[in-house]
Structure 1
Amino acid sequence: MPSPAERYAASRARAARAATPAGRFTETLGLELDDFQREAIDAVQDGAGVLVAAPTGAGKTVVGEFAVALALETGRKAFYTTPIKALSNQKYHDLVARHGSANVGLLTGDASINGEAPVVVMTTEVLRNMMYAASPTLTGLGFVIMDEVHYLADRWRGAVWEEVIIHLPESVQVISLSATVSNAEEFGDWLRQVRGRGDADSLRVIVSEHRPVPLWQHMMVGQRLYDLFVTDGLRAAPGVDGTTRVNPELLQGISAAERSARADGGWRRDDAGGPRGRRGEPRGRGRSGGPRGDRRDQRGGRHTGRSRRYDDARGTGGGGEAGFSRGSLPGGVASRAQVIDRLDRDGLLPAITFIFSRAGCDGAVQQLLGRGTRLIPEEQGQTIRALVAERVAEVDPADLGVLGYHDFVEGLSRGYAAHHAGMLPLFREIVEELFTAGQVRSVFATETLALGINMPARTVVLEKLVKFNGEEHAPVTPAEYTQLTGRAGRRGIDVEGHAVVLWRRGTDPMDVAGLASTRTYPLRSSFRPSSNMAVNLVAQYGRDRAHELLQASFAQFQADRSVVGLTTQIRHNTEALQGYAESMVCDRGDFREYGRLRHQLSEVEKKAARTRQAQRRSDIGQALETLERGQVIQLDGGRHGTMAVVIRGARGRPTGPEPTVITSSGRVQRLSIPGFRDVPEVIGTLTVPKQFNERSPKARKDLAAALRSTVHEPVPGRASSGRGRDGIPEGTAAQVDELRAALAAHPCHSCPEREDHARWAARWWTLRKETDDLQRRVTHRTNTLAATFERICDLLSAMGYLSEDGQEVTAEGQRLRRIYTELDLVAAEALRRGTWRRLSPADLASVVSALVHESRGDEPGDPPTPSVEVAEALGEMGSIWTEVQAGKLAHNLTGDRELDPGITWMVHRWASGRGLEEVLRSGDLSAGDFVRRAKQVVDLLGQITHAADEDVAATARRASAAMLRGVVAADRLD
């Protein structure tokens, strides 16, 4: 027990802290800060920048909120930046509630509220643009909070974060808030280098891997919930100690489900996501099992203790079924409604289910509605209906039906909803508000919900572990898994959070365990210079200084660090090469030259072998491609080879032609190029019955018998392909002869220690090749970004956006400075050439959409153009795009994506005042996607307004006004 003196000293310390800004701020929170929060707040108070890396839900934003309070207390400005508008809107409301609307502003691409307030919330792009424009709003700026700073790894928008960090004045304290990353110290070292003195006092790196709400990992097999990990027979989260292992009862449950599926003859999915029998009939719902527990928390009440222990999750009773009827388990996959039912019974709502498909999210709501699921009382549902009706009052009633409003509000009134980028932004905001308030108990979401938006839940469900990453369907990474499941567990409400992965055939619990326990998430830069960035840097800093600034990017910092290891290896290799050279000295002559000849001969022979192999594969592929039904060939392998008859010709596949055959033993086999040593030859024909069913064992047996009895089996062995001498092309053969003759004539050829010297020579050549490769990698990584910047500047000089020497920005370059779209040069050239001068407002909005739109894979191509003027403008823009790509190619720069006119007709109709139903009827875009694209068009029209001559600028203003109506303007905060 502390002595009176110690208690007095502690009391004095608390009083002293309470008198500081940090102490006063902490008192307003009404909660005890964690150590990492207190350490970060103290660092900010001491004038240091901070990088705070901590799990989702750990309370990182408290540090940013303190910086805001400190700015207001000391008479400085604070900018709170976020990666997305939805998070900016949410943070704006939070700060207004704390500091009042007079002190807080909002600046996003489509909202401007009180922009000169001492505290302004904005998207990171807005701050970047303000800095390039030297906006007077930056005067007095003391703090910049960069929320979700790990977003700088984003391949499309991540570069903006680095631009801001590099260009902010040194006097500005940067508070960077990040998810847990494994290279936080490396990122911190870079921040110290670019943000201050480079020492530890200028920037503090504060890492916490502790989750304030423990997260338990589960898998659901059928409707049975298993713990993923066990430790000494007790439930445990991964990482508690080094003895965690996968629950053996989970493995047994999966084996039972697989046996059940095989016995049942497999399953197919019904529209509701549940398993069906062979004829498509829905399986029985089964009866609920286990005790029901206290349901108060399922109706919005506070959860005051550990989630109800469910017997079957612990595997009690010998791993029994816990009351489920057998009809609910075959196939091992529960329907979405059954999953939510189970979570509701076990007190595990509210829950977010990540589906990775917009249609899947909407379908989940339909499935619950079809089943009559209700998660909240009817009285609460009526309150929600009234609230939603008030929020959508500004939307044209005629548009509500098109937006799926009635199903949307019906689901909300029952306690569940979808959340994805295809929804109307206003609808997403309503879902976020109701879920945060505890009035929605289940949300079906795509992964976009995992970024930043404050929507924690008690449970997170992952339907599968594969998602589309923009290019292909790829496994979920450990970082993505952690980001998604990090939503589980509400601080101050839940004593624990739960992550549930639904098991389905092909889901390996060991893979799930690996995702759940991996703690290595490196942050990688996606920074790359652009044309707009180049002209802005030259305008502000001059070309030489801009070159230096690019060298300060995190991308170059990481590249330079990797070069250190490479150069060390090169040094070691060089020393070893010298030793090898000494060991192969020969008194008969220059053995290095002799070794060069041997090495060259070896390379020529290897190349010839590769050529022969490639030719062989090509010949086999051609032979397989020409095989027809009924033709009989001999397969490789076996003592006497095996005959096979073709039942289905070659298929066009990325891996090559793959005909299907029945072998003489009655086995179905798909042939491929790697399965043959030589070119297959047709040795006979056999009539295959027209209605032949390869799935029928009897049909396969009969066809195999006919094959054996009617076609003579050839003698093993094949003739040589006879492609020249040893299959080597004539020119290569001559080169081989010449090199062999040179070797025989060399004086070292007769050395009695020749092979000993040759071994050292071979090692020398192998190491020399490795060292050359390392040197090329060093050359490629050193000054890569600056070299790209120089090539961009050379292109801009050739196009007239920079002076001939590249040191000054021309009048046309000043236009380019204001254009931030990905196709910035195409837009700038269209302005310079007057491409848009003859267009009406609707026409201009239409053609501008081709600069921002990127079609999804399921959208139709080549839509009709709305007018002759639009068609002409798009044609000229296409020519401009071609010229720009030719210029980039000539300067060794990466090309741009093509123009996409996929929504020109829709945008034209909307800007012409047509209704939403008519607009959406002309394309496959969802309402949410259309609104998002429309806002991007409005954003670019605003840039054109500032960059164009007055006539086009006036048209752009009218076009923007025509676009900003109805649902496009409905969720604007101003």
Structure 2
Amino acid sequence: MTSPDPGELDRFAAQLPFTLDDFQRRGCQALERGHGVLVCAPTGAGKTVIGEFAVHLALAADRKCFYTTPIKALSNQKHTDLVRRYGPERIGLLTGDVSVNADAPVVVMTTEVLRNMLYANSPALEGLSYVVMDEVHFLADRMRGAVWEEVILHLPEEVRLASLSATVSNAEEFGGWIQTVRGDTTVIVDEERPVPLWQHMLVGRRLFDLFDYDGGARGKKLLVDPELVRHIAHRREADQLADWRPRSPKGRGGHRGRPGLFRPPSRPDVIATLDSEGLLPAITFVFSRVGCDAAVKQCLRSSMRLTTDSERARIAEIIDRRCGDLPDADLPVLGYYEWREGLLRGLAAHHAGMLPIFRHTVEELFTAGLVKAVFATETLALGINMPARTVVLERLVKFNGEQHAPLTPGEYTQLTGRAGRRGIDVEGHAVVIWNPMESSAEPAEVAGLASTRTFPLKSSFAPSYNMTINLVGQMGPAQARDLLERSFAQYQADRSVVGLVRGVERGERLLDEIAAEVGGRDSPVLDYARLRAKISERERAAARSSRLQRRQAAGEALAALRRGDIINVSSGRRGGLAVVLEAARDDEDPRPLVLSEHRWAGRISTADYSGAGAPLGTMSLPKRVEHRQPRVRRDLASALRSAAAGLDVPSARRKRGEPDQHDDPELIALREELRRHPVHAAPDREDRVRAGERYLRVERENAQLRQKIAAATNSLARTFDRIVGILLERGFIAAESAEAADGARTLRVTDDGRLLARIYSESDLLVAECLRTGAWDKLAPAELAAVISAVVFESRGGDGPSTPLFDAPTAGLRRALAGTRRLSGDLRAEENRHRIAPSREIDEGFVATMYRWASTGDLTAALAVADSSSSATRPQPLSAGDFVRWCRQVLDLLDQVRIAAPNAELRAVAKRAITDVRRGVVAVDNT
């Protein structure tokens, strides 16, 4: 590609209402010289100016530019910005379900759309000179990150990339990879925020600086503000004193009846404090959708009002314009009136569970300065252009899908990066609310988060079925492996191998040194040490086997105990005689309820009871034993001792026998070989063997390092080969009878494979199987939409898929679900056999809701179905926003089925299903 006219940057800069920063100018100059560029800069620094210059260059040269973003909301936002500058005839938009002026010279699109174009060899790629990849750090996203790497690897060589990323700590590594796969690429890292950020802590209703900004620093590190530390210490002392005071009657006056114990401020108090300090508008991050909604309700219950009469009038006008197409009948179930009242008072929530049109209205009002306080989940920090003067963090711990974990420095930086509006605020503010019950909210901990800048970019790239079939179809398996080995994932793995190889080399040098001490690598000392190690491992295995057998025997004995049996509890504080009060309820983990001769009552396990021998005897018990009453325990323990007086009771403290290993012939032979070994009788045997054992330890560590190297090297290519194996077995790929000159098989994509190549879904292979086997044939439109929902839906709450829906509304839907369930199970079993991470299970928790909506279009009825099934199949009720989001996911896959289905009847049903789903709230504000 020829270099652009060197005067274009001056022409572009002259049109801007501000002067370019140094990093912006350097990025633009690199593009002007014909280079690609990777720009890493903080949120709000103005990275997109460099992407806009790529648009300018393409238009000036009468060429094409694609501007890609990770999410539809960002694509819509960027499309609006570019239309405002260049006019609607020159700017297009493609987001999967929206297509506007797709043949324009500049098209804004989601990255997935560009990936699909590349695999389809779309004619729209002709004349493409620039691709802007906004928020390119999304390639670390676990679910969708591979798309960015696919695009970077597949784009024609002459296309220049303008990659825009948040600040990452390994920008040079990422830039180095892009240079290897795309050629000349200038890496520009700018860590200066355009608006300075001040860190604070809110203790009660008093706002403190986190750092001693006036008192200097130790080296380059700011110190925590001593006034903040003193104030918190005084609060703790006051609370300790209050803790010693007599509790007030009826528990009034303080936390749990204690009058002086500190409580964090309420949400209205926090907002009022920020308002009095001139720190609104503010975004408060609450790591829960329910928490965001509850925060707005808490503020609405107070007298808080943050807007003027004129602002309220403008807010009402924008709400009416945005929401005018919503059906009146749906407004109550959508929570419209409470949401509207919050906005009129300057308050709002923002999270993925909201109706999209509600969320976008909040974004418009907040950006216009009409909403002053937003309570948001962390998803707001992922690219939406909603900066504030202040960011508030209520907690520094969030649920990561598996457990509650402290925020990382990268997460803290990303969240607080929203503070400070360029061109509006001279400074931004981050406020952490102090809570004495949360150790991560102590000043020193917060200071560590605020002063650490580590946000490494880790690739999540891995071959999928769709990627594999497209690679085989386009370039064959050999070239496909080469391409995978050029991915950022493999680049990072190979760099990690360098350190591992150095470790192996150090280990080999150490082995040479130790071997020299004992007489070389073939020394009898090493042979003797290996023999000892083999005996030790054999003894440990025997002990493990014996323990397992004992546990199994004890478990069977516990499960066999019946009420009234007298037993000997063999170990621990509970050792001695006991009587069984209640037999075990669970044979898998038997825990009978017993009463000991020492008056202890509780359930015992295999850790307490060896099970050796039968019960010692039996005794009669009252029909009902109130074992929690001390008097009953005393009387029953006395009766137990009397009943056992004539029994042969072994000592409760008798030590358990060790496993008898004398009958293990291999162990006997090894010990005999050890005694005959010449080193065994040497006078300095132990000193020499200690060196030998050190040698073996280093040898084991080296072997582990070599295993890690083998796992990292060509790991993606191995996964690719396993996926090819499954696709061959299932007939999506076929092997030609003739072999290539180098002995490799020639593979071709079959008709079924071409079907799979057009399915872009996390469950791509399952969808292809359902289509080609006819599992979804002969369905009504609502039935097809419902069964497809089982493939895309995922229950919230971390408890896995919903219970299978065996009582689906129609016979056709029950048949289709059963077929999909069976195919999914078969596929997962085959993936396990091929050692491939199993595909996710289908989730039928949205099926009944989807069927009701597609059948009736009645939102109230559809959400009522969702609520009625939430307790049985889903841990949390479905919000209106989630309902719309899942409907749009169903629409996306229905559209793929409409194009890819192998028979005309199913394609027609999919088309009618799209019409039935895309209506009402699902069709409104479809962005």
Which TM-score band applies after superposition, normalised by the shorter structure? 0.7 to 0.9
2:221 equivalent among 241, 254, 260: 241
Q: Distance in 2 between matches of 1:83 and 1:253?
A: 48
| Maintained 8 Å contact 2:734/2:748 | yes
User: Distance between the aligned counterparts of 2:356 and 2:521, measured in 1?
Assistant: 82
Match of 2:212 in 1: 230
In 2, the alpha carbon distance for the partners of 1:254 and 1:671 equals 44
Q: Within 2, Cα distance between the matches of 1:239 and 1:678?
A: 63
Matched, 1:401 2:382: no
What is the distance in 2 between the residues matched to 1:239 and 1:655?
59
In 2, Cα distance between equivalents of 1:448 and 1:38: 31
Contact 1:343/1:349, CA 8 A, preserved across alignment: yes
One-letter identity of the residue aligned with 1:24: R
Which amino acid is 1:955 matched to? Answer: V
CA 1:243–1:366 in structure 2 vs 1: closer, same or farther (change >3 Å)?
A: closer
- The one-letter code sitting in structure 1 at the alignment partner of 2:685 is R
Q: Determine the C-alpha separation between the residues in 2 that align with 1:960 and 1:479.
A: 41
Residues 751-770 of structure 1: pairs in structure 2 closer than 5 A: 751-770=682-701
2:857 maps to 914
1:965 aligns with 2:919: yes
Q: In the alignment, is residue 252 of structure 1 matched against residue 233 of structure 2? A: yes
Report if the CA contact (8 A) 2:283-2:391 is conserved.
Answer: yes
Equivalent position of 2:829 in the other structure: 886
- Does the CA contact (< 8 Å) of 2:210 and 2:224 recur in 1? no
* Structure 1 match to 2:458: 524
User: Is residue 523 of structure 2 the alignment partner of residue 583 of structure 1?
Assistant: no
AA at the equivalent of 1:894 = A
What secondary structure sits across from 1:121 in the alignment? strand
In the alignment, which of 169, 176, 191 is matched to residue 209 of structure 1?
191
Once the two structures are superposed, what CA deviation does each residue of 1:742-798 show, in whole Å capped at 9, x if it has no partner?
A: 111112322344334322321221111111111111111111101110111121111
Deviation at 1:940, TM superposition (A): 0.6
The 1:644–1:334 alpha-carbon spacing in structure 2 relative to 1, beyond 3 Å, is farther
Change (3 A) 1:107 1:260: farther
TM-score (norm 2): 0.86
**For the structure 1 residues 47 and 755, does the alpha-carbon distance in structure 2 shift closer, same or farther, using more than 3 Å as the test?**
same
Identity of aligned residues (%): 49
Task: Give the drift of 1:391.
Answer: 1.1
Q: Name the CA shift for 1:47/1:727 in 2 (closer, same or farther; >3 Å).
A: same
Tell me if the contact between 1:143 and 1:174 (Cα under 8 Å) persists in the aligned partners: yes
Q: Residues 188-240 of structure 1, C-alpha deviation per residue, up to 9 Å, x if partnerless?
A: 111111111xxxxx111111221122222222232222322225646x8x996
Q: Is the 8 A contact 2:578 2:640 kept in 1?
A: no
| Structure 1 position 643, deviation (Å) | 14
Q: In the aligned structure 1, how far is the partner of 2:439 from the partner of 2:595? A: 31
Note if contact 1:633-1:645 (Cα within 8 Å) is conserved in structure 2.
no
Pair 1:942-2:901 in alignment: no
Q: CA deviation at 1:641?
A: 11
Q: How does 1:501-900 map to 2 (within 5 A)?
A: 501-504=432-435, 505-508=437-440, 509=442, 510-585=444-519, 590-608=524-542, 719-723=653-657, 726-729=658-661, 731=663, 735-804=666-735, 805=745, 807-857=747-797, 861-863=803-805, 864-900=807-843
Q: Is the 8 A contact 2:68 2:134 kept in 1?
A: yes
Gaps of 5+ in 1: 1-16, 197-201, 267-276, 285-325, 694-698
2: distance between equivalents of 1:842 and 1:811? Answer: 28
Cα offset, 1:670, TM superposition = 11
Partner amino acid, structure 2, of 1:192: Q
Answer yes or no: is the 8 Å Cα contact 1:354–1:444 preserved in 2: yes
Other-structure match for 1:383: 314
CA deviations over 1:879-908 (Å, ceiling 9, x no partner): 211222232223221111111121112112
1:91 is aligned to 2:73: no
Deviation string 1:274-315 (CA, Å, 9 cap, x unpaired) is: xxx99687979xxxxxxxxxxxxxxxxxxxxxxxxxxxxxxx
Q: Deviations over 1:596-640 (max 9, x none)?
A: 2112123234445666777899999999999999x9999969xx9
Q: Is the 8 A contact 1:258 1:332 kept in 2?
A: no
Distance 2:569 2:215 in 1: 59
Q: Deviations over 1:25-56 (max 9, x none)?
A: 22222223222222112111111111111111
In structure 2, how many angstroms separate the alpha carbons of the residues matched to 1:915 and 1:239? 65
After alignment, is 745-754 or 828-837 more displaced? Answer: 745-754
Give the superposition deviation at 1:87: 1.2
- 2: CA distance, partners of 1:589 / 1:497: 69
Structure 2 match to 1:447: 378
Which position in structure 1 is the counterpart of 2:21?
34
Residues 1:919 and 1:90: Cα distance change in structure 2 (over 3 Å): same
Describe the shift of the 1:180–1:368 C-alpha distance in structure 2 as closer, same or farther (beyond 3 A).
same
Q: Secondary structure at the match of 1:353?
A: strand
3-state secondary structure, aligned to 2:274: helix
- For 1:338-394, what per-residue CA distance to the aligned partner results, in whole angstroms no more than 9, with x for missing partners? 211111111111111111111111111111111132111133113211221121111
2:845 to 875, 898, 902: 902
Contact 1:181-1:522 within 8 A present in 2 as well: yes
Q: 1:498 aligns with which of 429, 454, 458?
A: 429
Q: Which amino acid aligns with 1:920?
A: L
Paired AA for residue 61 in structure 1: T
Match of 2:645 in 1: none
Partner of 2:164: 177
Tell whether the 8 Å contact from 1:423 to 1:927 is kept in structure 2 after alignment. Answer: yes
How many residue pairs get aligned? The number is 881
Alignment deviations for residues 918-960 of structure 1 (CA, whole Å, 9 cap, x no partner): 1111003211111111111111111111111222111111111
C-alpha contact (below 8 Å) 1:854/1:900 kept by paired residues: yes
Flag the 1:535–1:243 CA change in 2: closer, same or farther, 3 A. same
Q: Deviations over 1:450-472 (max 9, x none)?
A: 10000011111112122222333
- 1:13 is aligned to none
Change (3 A) 1:113 1:651: farther
1:262 Cα deviation after fit: 3.9
Q: Which runs of 5+ in 2 are unaligned?
A: 642-650, 736-744, 867-876
Higher deviation after alignment, 473-482 or 161-170:
473-482
Partner residue, 1:463 = 394
- For the residues of structure 2 that align with 1:190 and 1:463, how far apart are their CA atoms? 38
The answer to whether the Cα contact below 8 Å between 1:635 and 1:644 also exists between their aligned partners in 2 is no
Residue 350 of structure 1 corresponds to which residue in structure 2?
A: 281
Structure 2 counterpart of 1:926: 879
Q: What is the TM-score with the length of structure 1 in the denominator?
A: 0.82
Measured on the aligned residues, the alpha-carbon RMSD in Å equals 4.3
2:369 is paired with a residue whose SS is coil
> How far, CA to CA, are the matches of 2:317 and 2:244 in structure 1?
51
**CA 1:663–1:390 in structure 2 vs 1: closer, same or farther (change >3 Å)?**
farther
**Aligned mates of 1:440, 1:95 — CA distance in 2:** 25
SS at match of 1:498: strand
Residue 218 (str. 1) matches residue 172 (str. 2): no
Distance in 2 between the 1:220 and 1:402 partners? 37
Contact 2:558 2:590 in 1 (8 A): no
Matched residue SS, 2:132: strand
Mean CA deviation greater in 222-231 or 156-165: 222-231
Q: Deviations over 1:565-602 (max 9, x none)?
A: 11222223223323433432399983333222112123
| SS, match of residue 860 in structure 2 | helix
The verdict on how the C-alpha distance between 1:576 and 1:71 changes in structure 2, with shifts beyond 3 A counting, is same
Alpha carbons of 1:588 and 1:249: their partners in 2 closer, same or farther (altered >3 Å)?
A: closer
Q: Which amino acid aligns with 2:860?
A: E
Change (3 A) 1:815 1:250: farther
Letter in 1 for 2:14: E
